[in-house]
Structure 1
Amino acid sequence: MRHTSLIFRYLVCVGWLLAAISHAANAQSLARSEEDEGGWRHSITPYLFLPLRTTGTSTIDGTSVDFDLNLSEVLDVLQGAASVRYEGWNGDFGIISEVYYVKLGGDGTLPGGRVDVDVDVRQTFANVQGAYRFANGVNASGQRYAADAAIGVQWNRIKQEIDFAGPGPGMTLGGTEEWLEPMIALRYITEINDKWSFASRAELSGFGVNGDDLQYLVLAGFDWKGWENTSLRFGYQFYGIDFSTDRSDGEFAYDVDQNGIYAAVAFHF
């Protein structure tokens, strides 16, 4: 069925757009070095990732489709998104957690007007990490710097589903996958002046656990502390994932690479 194939291709593209927005949101993790103080220091950071390009291959029900998407194609099917990062530090030890939710999709009618199509793609992502600041000092220019390492666990849930409804029996393609995976991260931060700081971060997860061969994340960006307890963050990131699993209806897999701009507001207390 030619039209079914076109709708299926659309579903695959939507699924990859989901990965572009939600997974890659993981990249936002700048943290400003501050004077050592007793007690806990906290930050909450809502953020947004804009993937300028997303390329890869998606497989649903054993059928694979290649794609190459730009930002406008992402925005066309975006129906809702929420993402936030929390960090709590006490001395050199910290707790980090991130939560994401993204929904994309659409509906319509196939030519002929007898078959309705509904595309529903959602992703929920959450992780918890324990962090340690193994370097913290002042460079030759008199500016503070710090380096952190973190290890944790990440929960992923991806839904890629398309429903056909018409005069006869309905049909559903795709489904939902959930899995847990280990993760590690490294981050370096340095102050530029009393308002600006620079940070870079690298993160790896999956390592072949539960079908996820590897997820990677590399970012670099700036933090501008324009107010006493609030700062703005922006930068550029690269993200990739290679996940696959066998289902009763065939292989379910996605292999994607993306890059783009991220922006955030961080609240410190």
Structure 2
Amino acid sequence: MNFKKSACAASTITLTCLLASAASAQSLPPPGQDDEGWRHTLGFYLFTPLRTTGTSTVAGVSADLDLDLGDVLEVLDFAAAGRYESWNGDFGIIVDANYVGIEEDATLPGPIGASVNVDVRQKWFGILGAYRIADGTYGAANQRYTIDLQGGIRYNSIRQEIDITTPGPTTPPVLGGDPGWVEPVIGARGMWRLNDRWTAITSLDLGGFGAGGNDLQIGANIGFDYQPWDRTAITFGYRYFSVDFSDTLSTGAFAYDVTQHGPYFGLKVFFN
């Protein structure tokens, strides 16, 4: 295998692995939370993709990806994500932050003994407004449901850098780069209370729309909140994620076009 392709693939594994799910916080107040005045939810999430497929490009060299969860976990360095929502009546404010990174070292085969460092980081920070367009009941038990729409902006940054060090006085240039951009984000979410402990959730968010080279980023979730305690819920479900980003840097074409799917897990805390 060409080493550039191998390093490029490793970087994209990290960029797209364990991204936090944009699973819901609460337009539907959980059992036990006061529905009057401001209400708040703080959530922490982990997305574990069972399959990652697509194409990564660094310095004009592309590599096809077809990875399972074990491949992803082998290269993970650190991932963290959180989501805060504050609601008053039908209006909400959402802050969404995500970070994932890897720094991996390797030695090239052959007598030269060159070493390689692959440094990859992805982070985004989003601020959205939300409006609850439906709030009603369904079924014989008159369980409550809500539907809300969301929209705002997100700062997104992707780093894919490959640094090759060789013996001797010359130093090869670092391949890749660290582009960042601001993009629009829109979303929709439905929540259906099943009983005093369980809530079903579906959500869809779309971002990019060509801004900064991000043609389209899609996140779709279906899952549940299970609330065994008054102010805390366990959230879990299944997520689909795809992104199609491309740019031209000083070292050449830089891109990744990746699709993932797998379970997500998280914890949510409610307070007034």
Whole-Å Cα distance in 1 between the matches of residues 17 and 181 of structure 2? 18
Determine if the alignment matches structure 1 residue 27 to structure 2 residue 26.
Answer: no
Residue correspondence of structure 1 range 81-92 to structure 2 within 5 A: 81-92=79-90
Looking at structure 1, the residues matched to 153 and 132 of structure 2 have their Cα atoms a distance apart, in angstroms, of 19
Identity percentage over the alignment? 44
Change beyond 3 A, Cα 1:26–1:234: closer
Contact kept in structure 2, 1:92 and 1:134, CA below 8 Å: yes
- Please say if 1:17 is aligned against 2:14: yes
CA distance in 1, matches of 2:108, 2:245: 31
Residue in 1 aligned with 2:93? 95
Give deviations 1:46-103, integer Å, cap 9, x for gaps. 1110011000011111111111111111111111111111010011100011111111
Other-structure match for 1:161: 161
Whether 1:211 aligns to 2:216 is: no
Is 2:147 aligned against 1:147? yes
CA contact (8 A) 2:5 2:62 kept: no
Q: Which segments of structure 1 move beyond 4 Å, counting only runs of 4 or more? A: none
Q: Which moved more, 1:212-221 or 1:112-121?
A: 112-121
In 1, Cα distance between equivalents of 2:241 and 2:75: 20
* Conserved? CA contact 2:21–2:239, under 8 Å: no
- For the pair 1:43 / 2:50, whether they are aligned, the reply is no
Query: Does the Cα contact within 8 Å between 2:180 and 2:212 map onto a contact in 1?
Result: no
TM-score (norm: length of structure 1): 0.93
Mapped contact 1:114–1:167 kept (Cα < 8 A): yes
Q: Which amino acid aligns with 1:215?
A: Q
1:234 matched residue in structure 2:
236
User: Is the contact between residue 75 and residue 104 of structure 2 (CA under 8 Å) also seen in structure 1?
Assistant: yes
Residue 186 of structure 2 is aligned to residue 187 of structure 1: no
Q: RMSD value over aligned CA atoms?
A: 1.6
Q: CA deviation at 1:7?
A: 4.8
Deviation track 1:161-219 (CA, whole Å, cap 9, x = no partner) reads 11111213222211111011101000000001010000000111111122111111111
Higher mean C-alpha deviation, range 32-41 or range 217-226: 32-41
Q: Which amino acid aligns with 1:254?
A: Y
Contact 1:143–1:192, Cα closer than 8 Å, also in 2: yes
Question: CA contact under 8 A between 1:61 and 1:249: conserved in structure 2?
Answer: yes
Which residues of structure 1 form unaligned runs of 5+? none
Farther off after superposition, 222-231 or 62-71: 62-71
Q: 2:11 corresponds to which letter in structure 1?
A: V
Give me the TM-score of the superposition, normalised by structure 2: 0.92
Q: Which residue, out of 63, 66, 73, partners 2:64?
A: 66
